[in-house]
């Protein structure tokens, strides 16, 4: 029998043996996805005295140092500490649950008069309206169209990539969405004079910070994942930082019929 997951008075089943990984890997080299002028991920072999941390180079074990910028290299999850001066506000303290019901929607960004590409609230609402159950659960996963494979290795720095309009962030808060995942470098414009309107709106900062709410950026949702309802598992490292490299996993949910 498949395991069940209760949510909002209904019961769903999912197959734990059929995960859909929507993270992008962290690998060394300049051909990996990056944004905001982050240096490429780097793995350095540790050398201490006669010890070398590489089996290929004659060492007994592999032992490496990792250089990574969470906000700029690969899939990452962040909390409101990203825009707070308080160093005690960390993702490791804010994210205390790791399983959520999520809805996946696919939306094409809309060209703006200034040339920007922006994901609009009305288009997300229209995408939700095509699904049998239009409600929004705890998490929203946004896949932008076209869903091209170059997203997996795109160098976004200095390209003014797609972002969302702040009205969408306000809408998610009104709908009770706690976790927002998207395949873009940021919810806000690459250069916006430090306004970060969508970040502030989603976290309701500084008026009423939503401690448990998270934003996960630079995901990639494969084509075989259809729009609909999923069980989401957000996996992070236990770093006391505002953000962490992360590995979000989706499991398709199936509603158990009522007796």
The answer to whether 3 and 256 have CB atoms below 8 angstroms apart is no
Give pLDDT, residue 259. 67
Q: Could you please report the per-residue DSSP string of 70-117?
A: TTTBSSEEE-GGGG-S-TT--HHHH----EEEEEEEEE--EE-TTS-E
pLDDT at position 203: 98
* pLDDT tens digits for range 103-145: 999 999 999 999 999 999 999 999 999 988 777 999 999 999 9
Identify the helix (H) or strand (E) that includes residue 143. strand 139-144
CA–CA separation, 110 and 96 (whole Å): 35
Q: Which of the residue ranges 6-10, 58-62, 74-78 would you say has the lowest mean pLDDT?
A: 6-10
pLDDT (mean) for 185-200: 98
**Residue 139: CB partners within 8 Å, gap ≥ 6?**
100, 101, 102, 103, 177, 178, 179, 180, 181, 232
Q: How many CA atoms lie within 13 A of 106 on its CB side?
A: 13
pLDDT of residue 234: 98
Q: What tokens appear for 14 in the block?
A: 């999912």
Query: Are the beta carbons of 8 and 251 closer than 8 angstroms?
Result: no
Across residues 86-99, what is the average pLDDT?
97
Domain boundaries, the chain: 4-34+70-255
Top CATH class, 4-34+70-255: alpha beta
pLDDT for res 131: 86
* pLDDT averaged over every residue in the chain: 96
Q: Which of 230, 229, 234, 236 minimizes the C-alpha distance to 248? A: 234
């Amino acid at each position: 029998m498949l395991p069940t997951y209760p949510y909002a008075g209904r019961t769903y089943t999912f197959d734990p043996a059929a995960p859909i990984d929507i993270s992008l890997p962290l690998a060394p080299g300049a051909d990996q996805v990056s944004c905001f002028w982050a240096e490429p991920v780097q793995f350095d072999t540790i050398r201490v005295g006669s010890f070398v941390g590489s089996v290929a180079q004659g060492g007994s074990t592999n032992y490496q140092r990792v250089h990574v910028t969470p906000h700029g290299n690969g899939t990452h999850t962040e909390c409101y500490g990203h825009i707070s001066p308080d160093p005690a506000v960390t993702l490791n303290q804010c994210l205390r649950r790791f399983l959520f019901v999520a809805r996946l929607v696919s939306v094409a960004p809309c060209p703006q008069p200034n040339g920007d590409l922006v994901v609009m609230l009305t288009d997300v609402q229209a995408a939700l309206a095509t699904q049998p159950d239009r409600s929004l659960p705890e998490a929203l996963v946004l896949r932008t169209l076209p869903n091209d494979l170059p997203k997996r290795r795109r160098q976004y720095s200095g390209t003014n990539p797609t972002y969302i309009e702040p009205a969408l962030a306000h809408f998610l808060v009104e709908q009770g969405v706690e976790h927002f995942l998207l395949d873009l470098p940021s919810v806000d414009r690459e250069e916006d004079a430090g306004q970060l309107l969508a970040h502030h709106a989603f976290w309701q900062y500084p008026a009423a910070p939503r401690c448990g709410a998270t934003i996960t950026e630079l995901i990639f949702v494969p084509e075989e994942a259809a729009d609909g309802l999923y069980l989401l598992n957000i996996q992070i490292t236990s770093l006391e930082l505002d953000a962490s490299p992360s590995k979000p996993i989706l499991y398709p949910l199936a509603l158990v019929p009522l007796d």
